[in-house]
Homo-oligomer: A and B are copies of this chain.
Amino acid sequence: MSIRTGIYGYGNLGRGVEAAVHGAPDMELAAVFTRRDPGSVRIRTENVPVLPASQAPEMAGEIDVMILCGGSATDLPRQTPEMAKYFHVIDSFDTHACIPEHFAAVDRAARASGHVAVISVGWDPGLFSLNRLIGASVLPDGRDYTFWGKGVSQGHSDAVRRIEGVLDARQYTIPVPEALSAVREGKEPELTTREKHTREVYVVAEEGADRARIEREIKEMPHYFDEFDTTVRFITAEEMRRDHSGLPHGGSVIRSGRTGAEGENRHLIEFSLHLDSNPEFTGSVLTAYARAAYRLGTEGMSGCRTVFDVALAYLSPLDGDTLRHTML
């Protein structure tokens, strides 16, 4: 039987999930839920209903796992615990500082209803987190570095778009080249957040909006921008379409460490991504973890998990014997 998958929220990420579910041999799209007028939403998959978000609870018997595709700022803290009452759930909650609180809320809901939730799935948090954990566990005498970009951060662009007077926004995260080189050379530099990345924001503002206020609100936004050197540029809607329509991203997690009696041997572990489309790649990761959540659920598990708690075999549609034959 195919894993019946729901998508809750149909923006860039929702479309990325849709494409990934389409490519999964053991999953099928059961429904898309939206807070917009369902009649106005065209999805790629044929013969799949687009339903109002409010109707999701009624689909409890017809969907195995719900992939939440809303934003971390205001959507997911409310939606993930709510949907965990009815389905196994997956989200991409990425406000690092608030993860423990979100985990606790989702865990309560999922345990009470007997569902499995996996939160903070994607590449960071997600695959990058796995690599930070591997690096620290294998090379405890060492130091790790995460670099993002150059690329568009959806979470940060979304946060800027919520500011009054902003019509559209695109935020690029850019590693500082000197910092990246020093780390790759094994120099283990001490780097502040500010020394590792710069942020560049392109904003289309409403006519007559107070640009100085918008710029200030961006630069002072906690967690998102306050610890970075941020450049804000106001552009036209036409320039936005022409120059900033893609959503590329990427980055690297690097662990630089030492082993041996005197720490005389040096090692470098690097995990890096080069992505043409961040939402499609993130959607692909969410979809693999949706498979995992469903399979953990069929084994009788319940409660909230993160990528740390899910054995990677659960991500694959192949059985253990095939995995050992082909990938070990």
Contact = CB atoms under 8 A, between A and B. Distances in A.
A316 B138 CA distance: 9
Contact of A19 (B129, B136, B261): B261
Given A259-B16, A273-B267, A315-B133, A140 B323 contact: no
A260 B134 contact: no
B132 A327 contact: yes
Interface string A278-291: 00110111001001
Given A99-B324, A310-B311, A311-B311, A268 B273 contact: yes
A103 interface: yes
A276 interface: yes
Interface string A230-268: 000000000000000000000000000001110011111
A216 interface: no
Contacts of A312: 130, 133-134, 137, 307-308, 312
A120 B139 CA distance: 19
B277 A306 contact: no
Closest 9 CB pairs of A and B: A265-B276, A137-B315, A259-B280, A265-B277, A308-B313, A268-B274, A132-B327, A137-B288, A137-B316
Interface of A: 16, 19-20, 23-25, 44, 96, 99-100, 103, 120, 125, 127, 129-134, 136-141, 259-261, 264-277, 280-281, 283-285, 288, 291, 306-313, 315-317, 320-321, 323-325, 327-328
24 contacts: A19-B261, A23-B140, A23-B259, A24-B140, A99-B324, A131-B271, A136-B327, A137-B288, A138-B284, A139-B281, A259-B283, A260-B277, A265-B276, A266-B276, A267-B274, A267-B276, A267-B277, A270-B270, A271-B271, A272-B272, A308-B323, A308-B328, A311-B311, A312-B312
